[in-house]
Amino acid sequence: MQHRRRHLLSIADLTDDELRYLVDRASRYAAGQESTAVLSGQVIGTYFRKTSTRTRTAFSAAALRLGAKVIAYGPADLQENTGETVEDTGQVLSRMLDGLVVRTSGPDREIAAYAAQDRMSVVNAMSEGEHPTQALADLTTIQRLRGEIDGVRVLYVGEGNNSAVALALALTRFSGTALHVVTPPGYGLPEATEHAARKYAEVSGSTFMSGHDLAAVPGGADFVYTTRWQTTGTSKPDPDWRAVFEPYRVDEALMSRYPEGRFMHDLPAHRGEEVTAAVLDGSASVAYDQAENKMHSASAVLEWCLTGGRR
């Protein structure tokens, strides 16, 4: 029986039930409760135009563990380099692959162009605007550590980049959560993301706040989260941007405000820039658990996209 192919292009495309389902499935994979070769006989392509350690390995390992075969494409491997359109590339690959995991770091419309067919599932492994599978790994990490996501308090410090966008679109869908996003001036979340996060928060009864002053953040935090200052595949036009980011380093002084808080980082990390070595390598850090959970959330995503799992 041919199942309807699903795509995962943005967290916003998921219903609340689907979002919870994917996190629950990822947690079950992490607990070793799901080990069947549900993708046996299927072929997954991984196309990464930009560097990737965790996401590429996570999806490759997940696909293989689920019984699929994997074809890996690097940035110089496809005829897009000679002028073939993204749309034509997607149409051709859809006649040969069951799924495509793609990282462009380009406009979100490129990911949508690969998905403009119904034969092959497409997973956004990071575009310029959003990193949806990172948010699923983040939520899986929180659920595994707390037992639930509802009610969690997260302080995000740093640039309002694609990982922060996905986190804001995901965490605000859960009941009673609090997300405070503190960014350097001029480097906040996109206006559309803030608007969506506030609307989600109104419905779920959660709290979403954004600003630039760490001292003004109210209350406690269960998790303090940062990402590297120089997002993969991007550059900043301001030559003095590092000076603007300096006050937003996660260090021991900041973590001491949240003695029960855990530290999260999507990696790769630059010790001494967005986070000190003492914090990243300290006992409160769960950054490497996050990295491992990328594989478990990748398993849940591939299963859901390719097998027609629960809607």
In DSSP terms, which residues pair with 43 in a beta bridge? 69
Region of poorest pLDDT, from 141-155, 177-191, 230-244, 277-291: 230-244
Q: In this predicted structure, what is the pLDDT of residue 1?
A: 39
* DSSP, residue by residue, 125-183: S--SS--HHHHHHHHHHHHHHHS-STT-EEEEES---HHHHHHHHHHTTSTT-EEEEE-
The CATH class of 134-291 is alpha beta
Tell me what pLDDT residue 107 has: 86
Burial string for 57-76 (b: 16+ CB within 10 Å, else e) reads: ebbbebbebbebebeebeee
The pLDDT of residue 285 is 98
- The two three-digit tokens of residue 297, written as one number: 């959330």
CB atoms under 10 Å from CB of 309, counted, come to: 18
Percent of the chain with pLDDT over 90: 89
Residue type, 260: E
Task: Give 197-216 pLDDT, tens digit per residue.
Answer: 999 999 999 999 999 999 99
At 256, is the pLDDT very low, low, confident or very high (cuts 50, 70, 90)? very high
Which superfamily is assigned to 11-131+295-307 in CATH?
Aspartate/ornithine carbamoyltransferase (3.40.50.1370)
pLDDT of residue 83: 94
Give residue-wise pLDDT tens across range 28-56: 999 998 767 999 999 999 999 999 999 99
pLDDT bin (cut points 50, 70, 90) of residue 105 is: confident
pLDDT of residue 198: 98
Say if residue 100's pLDDT is above 50.
yes
Contact 43, 158 (CB under 8 A): no
The per-residue pLDDT for 106 is 81
How much is the pLDDT for 26? Answer: 97
Phi, psi of 236, rounded to the nearest 5 degrees: -115, 135
Domain 11-131+295-307 and domain 134-291, same fold? Reply is yes
pLDDT(232) > 70: no
pLDDT, mean of residues 109-125: 95
| Residues sharing a CB contact under 8 Å with residue 118, sequence separation 6 or more, in sequence order | 4, 5
pLDDT band at 311 (very low <50, low <70, confident <90, very high): very low
Domain residue spans of the chain: 11-131+295-307, 134-291
**Quick one: average pLDDT of 220-243?**
87
- E strands within the chain? 43-48, 69-73, 99-103, 121-124, 153-157, 178-182, 207-211, 223-226, 262-265
- Across residues 163-187, what is the average pLDDT? 97
